[in-house]
Chains A and B, each alone.
Chain A
């Protein structure tokens, strides 16, 4: 088991290195760089930027060097915990990301919990009471949840909330709390704002997980070992929980990590629509302005969080299912 974890850890580090390269390459793909778009904006405002000036700026930012040197510079800084500077904000990248990182993890984490807490009992109910009215109702909701794009849902919910309550439900805080220091009142305000983004972000995942849970459990319910347990004289409810549900939960619980990429990407769009202070909008902005270190670092952090989540879920699987060998 220890060897397995150690090996998985090594793989993860390898993957992280690769992720950092890919993040960097992605940023360099679009034509031009931050300076080209910066100068273009300056020119659009009527300022004149000379060629000498441009070269000087380019040197100052290190953009005159080949990409691989830029990458190694950035990567070696990263190793020392320095993610470089954001051109646009003219601040260290970490300072730009850090306040939003906590919110990102909070929103993703709560969405994940929401997804599982809703989907698992509903999935179990739908399987055990297959073809009941409840099963049909959840099936319809489930298909709707899978097929409605979540940004559309976000817009609909916003319009609906605006019409009925006359308030804007964007953001995670009311205006008076946005810049206020943490306090009980601020936390309460946050809790009031959370449900809408959580539901919007979590819905499609929940719908998908309900289908998976239902299908997996239906498969297990007809396995011979359930009949063996029934033939022992166990009570039906206890039997279901102890055998088929336990077995069906293994793959579900252990694929928690797989939900993370979906959550992060779904969250990016929703955060823009709902104006949430997560790293999603920053990523989009930095990609548009070609603010390379900020964009690469944000991408890298999202990937790293996903990888850690996957590692945790793989360990969960080994712990839950005795059939899986740690090799």
Chain B
């Protein structure tokens, strides 16, 4: 086989290989580079060059024009030298880039974006993208300031900016990023947040439990240098709120369900979860099934999980039987009392509706009654005043008579007599009962009575003004919208919520502890806390005080670089395959043809390890490896060994299927031999010219004589 190359064709082959490799590498890398550049440019257009902009302002599309005008105004006024660029509008939201001039790129400005830009019309929020920077996500508020101080001490850091739960660390130069990132990671590693979670329903005094927990921690042997209670309320608020709502919901549903009280007969014991069946009575459609939800001494509670109870204002007492597995009725267990709250509520609502309807009428009646009362009072008062005058006169008369005034003339006496007689007839009844009665009449506080009557009358007037019809409509609406759930449905819902709430430890209350120094063994601590805090349900979780997250742009570029390497690698493989199939296949076809006339192989290894296959494999391996690495290819999981092996396999496949890729006319080949052509001449003049148009074919044009 080596003979074949010896008389000159090796030169052609070497040239072919060199050019294939150079071309392959250049092509693969070139295409990859083009892709890279294209995306890189697009990206720059989209998000600006590194450090060009500091903020992305998200603005509602319809307010964009106004927002841009306002931004220009703010820029000119507060940040002369600012940069503004409106980029993509996605899903109705315009993204506007805003670049601060260097002197304004400070913590103060970056932390008060809302105060500067809050008035921008249509502003939906903003994203900080000041660069070069390192982003720390999820920084625990309890350690933020401490972390800040430590991080700002790091070399290369210019300042830090709090951005919600994140901390943005700005560095002086882009080159500082790796070192600053490492520094931050070192600092973060020093902090651990140990969280004690109590299941739902445990009301925990976070301060008290926190302090206890700290004591427990301090009692442990550990190299941690500091412990602190950093329980923060806002942490995980949403979930808490959701779970609390669920609990409320469950309680609401529970209060709304029919109350089921079970009085087991003596000797019968019930357990939670057990089911009781009640036979259908009255207008009930089907039997009721009750699940026992609680057992309290010789009483038990339950809820209806199937069927509807009798609709009655009163308690209904029925006989309960155990429900056996197959829906069979078991032993009698005792009396079950059901109180249908919903029915009562509905009744109450209906009643109030009826009363309201009568109220209006009542008000009219009351109003006329008050008017009458006032008229009576006026008459009464007038009468009273006359009485008073009479009384005075009578007193004077009486006194005059009693003293027997000597000076009194006969004339006066006569008058007195007359008057006396008159008075007696006029005010018979009053005088009769004596002066006491009149006094008590006088004691009546007429004015007081009048003003209270006035009050009543205005109130009644108010009642008349109330739109009773509207109120009735409202109440009617309430009645109609009273959840139209059956007891069974309520029961099922409660069960559902309970399984959700009960199935897992839900952070009902949490206590967060900061541990500085070596991280403790969280699971071992959990046991200790469970015993020491006497709560077997609590769990511990340890989290970091913050996570360094790669900045978006760096990440995008890293991915782009990765894509580029993958593309280059793939192209290298494809190129190698093409070169092998187009060019080398012709060579191997020829070699295989020529071998047919040769002597049978004598050496044993040759029979096992076909030198042609070996040669093909080595060639493929060399070709692929060279092109792949020159093209800077990098495909995940493609180690050099894998690449070389893949090349080898490609080469072997090529040898096996050489004739398929590039058939050689054996007649022409034999003619060439018989005419005394050398191997290189056979290749150049006979085999290659009609072979597939490839590099080999192209290069051969320079050497071909016919």
| B is bound to A | no
